[in-house]
Amino acid sequence: MPSIHDSVTVLSGVGEKRAEALRKMGIYRVSDLLYHFPRGYQSRGTTVSLAEAGIRGDEGLPSSVMLTVAENARASRLKGRMTLVKVRAVETDFPDSTASAELVFFNQAYLSDRLRIGQNIRVWGKFRKDGRRYTTSSPILEFYTERRSLIPITPVYPLTAGITQNYISKLIGEALTCSDINTCDVIPKSVREKFDLAPIGDSFRCIHLPKTPEEAENAGRRFAFERIFVTAAALTSTGSRRPDKGAANMGFVPLDAFLSALPFTLTGCQARAVDDISRDLASIRPMKRMISGDVGSGKTAVAAAAAYICAAAGYTAAMMVPTEILANQHYADMAPLFSSLGMNVALLTGSTPKKEKARIIDGLAGRGDRIDFVIGTHALLSEGVKFEKLGLVITDEQHRFGVMQRAALENKGGYVHTLVMSATPIPRTLTLVMYGDLDVSILDELPPGRIPVSTFAVDESYRQRLNGFIKKQAEEGHQTYVVCPAVEEKPSENPEEMADLFCDNERALPMKAAVDFADELSDALPDVRIGFVHGKMKNADRDKVMTAFAAGELDVLVSTTVIEVGVNVPSATLMVVENAERFGLSQLHQLRGRVGRGTAKSYCILVSDSKSPKAKQRLDTMCKNRSGFKIAEEDLRQRGPGDFFAVGGIIKQSGAGGSVYSAVTADPRIIEAASASAREIVSADPLLTSPEYRLLRKKVEELTGEYENIIN
């Protein structure tokens, strides 16, 4: 019997090749398998007749049907190396029925040996009536024998190449037999008793092999509590060690000249954020502040004020952004402003000419003309970049940077003041869990005069009208973004990967591929100038296209979500999101924020043929809400735990990163209870020396290095 501490290689069927694939998923030990939670579930327990399955299939819904193989499977070879297996089966649970079904499988030749006359099977798929019989293509198949009953609720796991659902389920089933499964609970006994939390072994079984949806949900809440609790303990622990001195005291710098140079007046929340920053910078305690603001709320203006204070006090401010085009944009906006105030701004990217780069490096190091404010990309992290008097580090669109990259820039100046600009509004219930004692300034109002973006959800039947609207925008001198969820269409070879979740019993719709859609749009609108970008392009090629779009040389930009943040194109008035059901609310709101930056009326069109109630609810929320904070709260309520701490039954946001705030449950009571308990424990025992906290201390020590880089 394996131990939870063993390497996964002790499990049956795990050779070096499979072990390497598992490592790509973050699975090294048996305990990692236990924490590899399902991304969703399929409820296959309720079986129906073929007649009912056919009706559901016409509505786009899959069904579970018990069948008995009536004829041995037949295999044939198609073009290339593709194989086709067909088998006829009759209903098992309805002996008087004369209905039969033809099951079709691609590239699963081994089934021709397993699907023999008399074999009982449970089939989960989308059935269609075809003459006198029913057909289904690439269904999910389970073999039924007297020795093996079929579980009613089937977990669906995140996978990687070389790992199948059946294989990962088998390994997790073996991990659940570990005799020491209850010895890995990091939640102290006193906390478990206070909140009536189930033993961890029982919770592992309920989340991986639930008998009911309620079991899975309760287990998910238990593990959400655990992750929030551990995260809050780590943040509180490292936050308590935040240095109280060592940074530059910049004093109270008058802002009259800066504010007079701005072409607009700060909003109330912007002014409050600038006041917060002014107080922080007038202290030797390193500032650790985040600006959390809605799309278009003016985070950049607040950052510019911080840079001005730093420069006026005789120090250099550095802003690091994720892309060259965004760096160029910030430089174009800020260089004239700071120049009018007698300050020197420099731009340092991978494309900076060698001679200019040398001049900038000398200026930063104090060997040449003083540089007050440098804006750059990862080039700022280059070994040759040294700072004589680095006082402030600003990171823009902070979720695009790795923890170590942000820390590397901060470490170039010792104990520097740090300002982080969040690209996404953060639900207020989560700021404490996410950032420990990091100070947060919230920008929750938009500058006056901005014209709201009108949002509509449509289906494929509107395609011709939508193309006409895109053409009209181009004719009027406006521009359009079209966002697709995938670069290229790659049909899943494993139908289990198309699984949907509890109460959302609809197969995932095929994803619109940006490559194909750009070609289709070019054919439909030959007179419209169309460009195409995606995340797999070289940075230089992508920036070239996006620069052309920003310059008005293209009418339409078809892309993946690489344009989610960053580019400011005032003449862009239309955002079209294909397969909108594939995106989370916060991501859709970010995409919508790419338009409506000029004086013309702007629109966001969400295209989806999904019949899923959850998907429709998300799109309806987008159409009815404009506040990023309201949308973030609703996203949290609807989606619950996300990519970072995956718990059962949760939609994964396409393209979403592993941010901490996407990792918690939608119930704010869990957030508050878990984080408060962690803070209480760490406050009473900062080093977690009590024997009861032994496992918690070990886990916090594992996380400390990562979290120290976030908040120190």
How far apart are alpha carbons 6 and 20 in whole angstroms?
A: 16
Crossing angle between the packed helical segments 213-239 and 200-208, to the nearest 10 degrees = 130
Instruction: Report helix, strand or coil for 628.
Output: helix
Q: Is 522 exposed, middle or buried (0-12, 13-18, 19+ CB in 10 A)?
A: middle
- Asked whether this chain's domains 45-151 and 454-625 adopt the same fold, the reply is no
Distances (CA, A) of 504 to 62, 115, 613: 11, 30, 7
Residue 603 to residues 132, 154, 474, 531, 597, Cα–Cα distance (Å)? 48, 41, 14, 20, 11
Mean pLDDT taken over the chain? 83
Can you give the residue ranges of every domain in the chain? 45-151, 256-443, 454-625
Q: Where are the beta strands (DSSP E) in 355-411?
A: 373-376, 390-395
| Portion of the chain with pLDDT greater than 90, in percent | 48
**How far, rounded to the nearest angstrom, does the alpha carbon of residue 271 sit from its chain's CA centroid?**
31
Dihedral (C-alpha) 694, 700, 702, 706: value to the nearest 10 degrees? -170
CB 594 within 8 A of CB 577: no
Sign of CA dihedral 664, 665, 671, 674: negative
Residue 161 burial by CB count (10 A; 0-12/13-18/19+): exposed, middle or buried?
Answer: exposed
List all residues 6 or more positions away from 200 whose beta carbon is below 8 Å from its beta carbon. Answer: 181, 182, 184, 185, 187
Average pLDDT on 422-439 reads: 65
Q: What CA–CA distances, in Å, run from 377 to 331, 341, 351?
A: 12, 24, 10
pLDDT of residue 489: 45
Rounded Cα–Cα distance for residues 334 and 301 (Å)? 9
Q: CA-CA distance, 140 to 124, in Å (whole number)?
A: 5
- Measured CA to CA, the distance from residue 604 to residue 611 in angstroms comes to 20
Contact 57, 128 (CB under 8 A): yes
Q: Which fold has domain 45-151?
A: OB fold (Dihydrolipoamide Acetyltransferase, E2P) (2.40.50)
Go through the chain and tell me how many residues it has.
712
Mean pLDDT of 519-525: 93
pLDDT of residue 52: 93
Tell me which range, 25-29, 169-173, 405-409, 468-472, is most confidently predicted by mean pLDDT: 468-472
Closest CA to 263 of 328, 337, 326, 327: 337
Q: Give dist(CA 283, CA 237) in Å, integer.
A: 23
User: Which of these, 616, 591, 620, 614, lies nearest to 603 by C-alpha position?
Assistant: 591
CA count, 13 A, side-chain hemisphere, 478 = 21
Q: Which residue type does 405 have?
A: Q
The CATH code of domain 256-443 reads 3.40.50.300
Summarised one tens digit per residue, pLDDT across range 243-281 is 678 889 999 999 999 999 999 999 999 999 999 999 999
Residue appearing with tokens 């007698």: 342
**C-beta neighbour count of 477 within 10 angstroms:** 11
Cβ atoms of 309 and 250 closer than 8 Å: yes
- The CATH class given to the 454-625 domain equals alpha beta
- Residue 239 — very low, low, confident or very high, per pLDDT cuts 50/70/90? low
Structure tokens of 74?
């037949």
Q: Beta strands 316-320 and 373-376: pairing type? A: parallel
Share of the chain above pLDDT 70, in %: 83
Tokens coding 16: 């070096």
d(CA 333, CA 482): 26
pLDDT bracket for residue 688 (50, 70, 90): very high
Q: Is 182 helix (H, G, I), strand (E, B) or coil?
A: helix
